[in-house]
């Protein structure tokens, strides 16, 4: 019996074998023939991208400003003969919060032509078709716009949106769930929706007989619309409807796909397995979790490996890891025949610190720099998709139930693999000539799998083995992703595969030449520049919302690349997403001032001096429908590393019928709560009648009235139709408010938050914004040059900049030489724990805890200060050293209410490079570190 390469055996020599013994997998002809006879139930569809809940809010900024980085992202996911992803799922909504943020309403009113261009998911699907013309597009809804009351309205909304997307981009949606996301199935309505689609002869519902959009525009459009299939039910637990479909033939034949979220379990009667095996129905995991935290730094954890050895770490595995994600795929098929996993989100293109942060495969949060991080979870998916043709047609490989196994405990998460519990999925080509078995070992034990193949075309052939694991110490983080690991010849009809701890392997009959070469790009951490448009000037950022100098944007439409005006590509004059914004409630969109004048929203003279476009909060009380998380309209703008700055914006209230509306300007917003109304550390809330509040995380610290504004000589103009300028300055612990250039109030925070983004907000009223400016404050550092996660102990590539791989962003590396030696970034000593699996508001979902006096963390920097972030009750005490000299002794950390909050500040470092060390003082309680900020 052959094994894998000699180098691999050497690396494993210190590893112990699992007490569970050898795993035997039999792939016999009967099982193969049964699988290949399946058309739907066992065809392995693969993986998809979910775009919704504002998780794609920054993606079009990448496309406009860093097109090469955007198209590289799209090609990485959707390109090549065996792509990682083959589906885009677009969620529809009503401009209200659906967790991270809102889904843009395509039709805010019954008679509005669907504005599909302002929903980034539709455009992502169009662009993906550049590399994958046969891309599958799916659709689901959250809460509906306020005009949608009946199923007739739902059908109207869906149909017009689907046809508008087809006419705009040239693709027809393939599958639809007409029901509400994560609700119990309404099977009768889903079946009725399918009937309506299949028999519809009306086409687009126009506004009167002369509407040129009405009807079907071609026989091809009609035919494709009639082919749309339906899904039920997208419940967030094991589906409750399996028995209904098994028992009711008519329902079963009408409803095409059974789907539910996260849970890998079948129901107690095994109905979903029956639906796939007996009735050839597709079963999807229509919302799945990807990786949590950052896999590049995950190997630095010290979590318990489950073998009794204590906190020795879990390398690339453990809670929320890429290996756990792989086990979830396998167990989902073994236990409930899931053949499709759609990740929410696959692309995290929204601001860090908002709800459901750090649970994605790709991070794209800094569109000004073009920085994109590709996680090891993609390499795990490649172990499935690079070694089989996945998809929806006859060419798709089948999963073989009898030759697949998963005994890993857990449901969501599937994390009970610490003894090396068996986990393997076998895929076979439709002609039986080739097969691939994916094996996941999320444990510290070495595992041995014996694969016996008999009585089909692919039996008896050697197996080529590919492996992914964490890099060896001192090597680039991705140097061990998806590497060829040798060929195993069969002995007595059996191939023996030795699987290293904390790794995933694919054993396949495909040769090296059969495997696509397109891989996961390496991420250069040094290119994550801070948003600073004038490094030698006063301005950090400005937006007049006109974008007159922006170049055209390339969009893939109707099978061709076309160029469009910047604003047109994102929605057009009636409402388009603003640059660098993530809305958490409401809709902050750019509109043409001419349209506002023409429609009577503002007087003509009120648009003078304010350019051709302004930012408008579009949702009033008449359009404020249901929400996942209630709250007033808010949008976040800019870089969470901004520290000391003055932000100002012109504001105008449109006519309002009742109580005075308000506008809000906030600073130092780092997220930290699902309630986005009060996310900013400091905000100034000004009502149209002049009543105002200065707040600290939603708590009032100063209050005033209109008369105060008059007395201060601000020239504040109350009421509707008047422009005023509001400004908020944060400088150290001092918070100052200005109206029309005149100081109104100030406050000093005894426990200051030191950094964060800008936030704009309103009541549910129409409010205009213009001429946003974020400026430096003289005498204060404007931002953190680096915000370092606590788990980032080594650079991701070699560096000579004195701070590991964290340079100033001026040295872009085109490629990575694997001989590069990574260097220390954060250097820990003493008694610490380093854990993954923390909450969504913890930076990168990691935390490091200093347990005993003398525990230290050090870094080398030429910055002017270093701050520590973390949750704190204010009892821990720290010593600080600079170049070995004690400069702070027994200093108490400040209390904080969340993880990414400032707990300790060390400022005034002299010019030059220094070694800075923080030490847990004698007699101190433990201290939790979330991140380190370097000024």
Interval 882-894: pLDDT, tens: 999 999 999 999 9
Give residue 811's pLDDT band: very low, low, confident or very high (50, 70, 90).
Answer: very low
pLDDT tens per residue, range 121-131:
999 999 999 99
For the chain, the structural domain boundaries read 6-514, 539-624+633-776, 786-934
pLDDT at 89: 99
pLDDT at 712: 74
pLDDT at 711: 66
Give residue 606's pLDDT band: very low, low, confident or very high (50, 70, 90).
Answer: low
Instruction: State how far the Cα of 815 lies from the Cα of 921, in Å rounded to an integer.
Output: 43
565 and 584 Cβ atoms separated by less than 8 Å: no
Fold of 786-934: Jelly Rolls (2.60.120)
Dig out the tokens for 879 from the structure: 């010593």
Higher pLDDT, 13 or 644: 644
pLDDT tens per residue, range 301-332:
999 998 888 899 999 999 999 999 999 999 99
pLDDT at 83: 98
Which of 261, 303, 271, 272 is CA-nearest to residue 48? 261
The secondary element (H helix, E strand) that includes residue 328 is: helix 322-336
pLDDT at 574: 86
- CATH architecture, domain 6-514: Alpha-Beta Barrel (3.20)
pLDDT at 261: 98
pLDDT tens per residue, range 690-717:
999 999 999 999 999 988 777 678 899 9
CA-based end-to-end distance of the chain: 59
pLDDT tens per residue, range 66-110:
999 999 999 999 999 999 999 999 999 999 999 999 999 999 999
pLDDT at 708: 79
What share of the chain in percent tops pLDDT 90?
89
User: How would DSSP label each residue in 792-853?
Assistant: --B-SS---SSBTB---S----SS--TT----BSSEEESSEEEE----TTSGGG-EEEE-ST
For tokens 């959009």, what's the residue? 213
The secondary element (H helix, E strand) that includes residue 709 is: helix 706-711
pLDDT at 115: 97
- Mean pLDDT estimate for the chain: 94
pLDDT tens per residue, range 342-356:
999 999 999 999 999
pLDDT at 600: 75
Cα separations (Å) of 515 from 82, 366, 505, 839?
9, 33, 14, 38
pTM (2 d.p.): 0.95
pLDDT tens per residue, range 627-676:
999 999 999 999 999 999 999 999 999 999 889 999 999 999 999 999 99
| Arithmetic mean of pLDDT, 823-843 | 96
Q: CB atoms < 10 A from the CB of 908, how many?
A: 9
pLDDT at 248: 98
pLDDT at 528: 95
pLDDT at 605: 65
| Arithmetic mean of pLDDT, 437-442 | 99
| Arithmetic mean of pLDDT, 434-451 | 98
The secondary element (H helix, E strand) that includes residue 138 is: strand 136-141
pLDDT tens per residue, range 127-155:
999 999 999 999 999 999 999 999 999 99
Dig out the tokens for 775 from the structure: 């400026």
Instruction: State how far the Cα of 541 lies from the Cα of 593, in Å rounded to an integer.
Output: 23
For residues 835, 77, 475, 929, the Cα torsion angle rounded to the nearest 10 degrees is -20
Angle between the N-to-C axes of helices 219-226 and 187-199, in degrees from 0 to 180, rounded to the nearest 10: 160
Higher pLDDT, 486 or 594: 486
- Does 786-934 match 539-624+633-776 at the fold level? yes
* CATH assignment of 539-624+633-776, among 3.90.550.10, 2.60.120.200, 2.40.128.20, 2.60.120.560: 2.60.120.560
pLDDT at 16: 67
| Angle, alpha carbons 781-784-785 (nearest 5°) | 105
Instruction: State how far the Cα of 377 lies from the Cα of 358, in Å rounded to an integer.
Output: 12
Instruction: State how far the Cα of 224 lies from the Cα of 137, in Å rounded to an integer.
Output: 13
Higher pLDDT, 819 or 900: 900
Is a pLDDT exceeding 80 seen at residue 207?
yes
Is a pLDDT exceeding 50 seen at residue 8?
no
Is a pLDDT exceeding 80 seen at residue 815?
no
Is a pLDDT exceeding 80 seen at residue 209?
yes
What share of the chain in percent tops pLDDT 70?
95
Higher pLDDT, 489 or 801: 489
| Arithmetic mean of pLDDT, 870-879 | 98
| Arithmetic mean of pLDDT, 432-458 | 98
Per-residue DSSP letter, 365: E
Is a pLDDT exceeding 50 seen at residue 819?
no
661 and 767 Cβ atoms separated by less than 8 Å: yes
Give residue 277's pLDDT band: very low, low, confident or very high (50, 70, 90).
Answer: very high
pLDDT at 240: 97
């Amino acid at each position: 019996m052959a094994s894998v390469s000699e180098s691999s055996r050497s690396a494993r020599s210190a590893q112990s074998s699992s007490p569970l013994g050898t795993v035997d997998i039999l792939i016999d002809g009967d099982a193969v023939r049964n699988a290949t006879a399946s058309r739907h139930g066992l065809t392995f569809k693969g993986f998809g991208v979910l775009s919704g809940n504002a998780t794609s809010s920054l993606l079009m900024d990448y496309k406009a400003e860093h097109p090469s980085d955007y198209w590289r992202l799209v090609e990485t996911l959707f390109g090549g003969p065996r792509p990682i992803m083959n589906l885009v799922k677009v969620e529809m909504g009503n401009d209200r919060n659906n967790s991270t943020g809102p889904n843009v309403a395509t039709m805010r009113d019954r008679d509005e032509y669907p504005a599909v261009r302002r929903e980034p998911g539709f455009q992502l699907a169009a662009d993906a078709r550049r590399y994958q013309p046969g891309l599958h597009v799916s659709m689901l809804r959250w809460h509906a716009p306020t005009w949608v009351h009946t199923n007739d309205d739902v059908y109207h909304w869906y149909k017009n949106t689907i046809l508008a997307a087809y006419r705009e981009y040239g693709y027809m949606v393939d599958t639809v769930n007409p029901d509400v996301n994560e609700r119990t199935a309404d099977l009768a309505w889903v079946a009725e929706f399918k009937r309506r689609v299949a028999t519809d002869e009306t086409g687009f519902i126009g506004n009167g007989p002369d509407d040129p959009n009405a009807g079907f525009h071609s026989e091809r459009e009609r035919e494709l619309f009639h082919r749309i299939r339906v899904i039920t039910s997208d419940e967030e637990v094991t589906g409750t409807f399996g028995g209904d479909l098994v028992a009711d033939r008519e329902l079963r034949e009408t409803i095409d796909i059974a789907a539910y979220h996260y849970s890998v379990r079948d129901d107690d009667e095994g109905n979903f397995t029956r639906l796939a095996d007996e009735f050839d129905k597709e079963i999807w995991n229509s919302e799945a979790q990807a990786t949590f935290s950052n896999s590049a730094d995950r190997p630095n954890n010290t979590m318990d490996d489950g073998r009794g050895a204590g906190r020795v770490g879990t390398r690339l595995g453990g809670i929320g890891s890429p290996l756990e994600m792989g086990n979830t795929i396998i167990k989902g098929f073994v236990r409930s025949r899931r053949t499709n996993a759609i990740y929410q989100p696959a692309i995290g293109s929204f601001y860090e610190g908002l709800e459901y942060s750090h649970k994605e495969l790709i991070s794209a949060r800094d569109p000004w720099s073009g920085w994109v991080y590709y996680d090891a979870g993609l390499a795990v998916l490649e172990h499935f998709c690079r070694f089989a043709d996945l998809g929806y047609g006859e060419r798709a490989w089948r999963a073989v139930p009898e030759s697949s196994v998963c005994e890993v405990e857990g449901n969501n998460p599937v994390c009970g693999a610490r003894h090396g519990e068996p986990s393997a999925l076998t895929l076979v080509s439709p002609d039986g000539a080739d097969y691939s078995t994916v094996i996941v070992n999320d444990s510290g034990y070495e595992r041995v799998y014996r694969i016996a193949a008999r009585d089909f075309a692919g039996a008896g052939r050697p197996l080529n083995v590919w492996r992914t694991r964490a890099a060896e110490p001192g090597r680039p983080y991705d140097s061990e992703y998806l590497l060829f690991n040798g060929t195993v010849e069969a002995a007595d009809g059996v191939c023996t595969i030795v699987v290293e701890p904390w790794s995933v392997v694919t054993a396949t009959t495909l040769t090296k030449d059969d495997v696509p070469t397109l891989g996961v790009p390496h991420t250069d951490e040094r290119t994550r520049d801070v948003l600073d448009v004038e490094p030698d000037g006063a301005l950090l950022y400005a937006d007049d919302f006109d974008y007159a100098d922006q170049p055209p944007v390339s969009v893939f439409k109707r099978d061709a690349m076309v160029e469009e005006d910047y604003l047109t590509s994102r929605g057009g004059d009636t409402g388009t997403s603003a640059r660098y914004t993530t809305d958490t409630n409401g809709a902050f969109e750019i509109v043409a001032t001419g349209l506002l004048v023409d429609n009577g929203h503002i007087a003509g003279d009120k648009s003078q001096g304010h350019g051709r476009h302004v930012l408008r909060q579009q949702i009033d009380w008449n359009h404020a429908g249901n929400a996942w998380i209630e709250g007033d309209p808010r949008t976040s703008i800019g870089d969470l590393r901004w520290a000391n700055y003055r932000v100002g914006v012109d504001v105008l209230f449109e006519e309002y019928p009742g109580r005075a509306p308000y506008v809000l300007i906030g600073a130092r917003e780092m997220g930290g709560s699902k309630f986005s109304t009060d996310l900013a550390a400091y905000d100034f809330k000004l009502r149209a009648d002049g009543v105002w509040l200065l707040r600290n995380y939603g708590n009032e610290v100063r209050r005033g009235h209109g008369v105060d504004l008059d007395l201060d000589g601000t020239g504040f103009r109350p009421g509707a139709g008047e422009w005023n300028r509001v400004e908020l300055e944060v400088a150290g612990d001092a918070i100052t408010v200005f109206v029309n250039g005149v100081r109104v109030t100030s406050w000093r925070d005894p426990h200051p938050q030191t950094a964060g983004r800008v936030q704009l907000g309103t009541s549910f009223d129409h409010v205009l914004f213009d001429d946003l400016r974020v400026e430096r404050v003289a005498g204060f550092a404007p931002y953190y040059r680096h915000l370092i996660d606590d788990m980032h102990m080594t650079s991701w590539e070699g560096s000579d900049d004195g701070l590991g791989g964290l340079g100033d962003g001026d040295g872009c590396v085109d490629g990575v030489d694997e001989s590069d030696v990574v260097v220390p970034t954060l250097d820990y000593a003493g008694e610490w724990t380093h854990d993954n699996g923390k909450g969504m508001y913890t930076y990168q979902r990691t935390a490091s805890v200093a347990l005993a006096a003398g525990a230290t963390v050090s870094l080398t920097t030429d910055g002017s200060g270093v701050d520590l972030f973390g949750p704190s009750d204010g009892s821990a005490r720290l010593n600080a050293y600079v170049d070995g000299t004690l400069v702070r002794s027994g200093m108490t950390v400040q209390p904080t209410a969340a993880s990414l909050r400032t707990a300790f500040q060390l400022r005034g470092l002299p010019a030059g490079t220094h070694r800075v060390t923080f030490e847990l003082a004698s007699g101190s309680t433990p201290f939790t570190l979330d991140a380190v900020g370097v000024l």
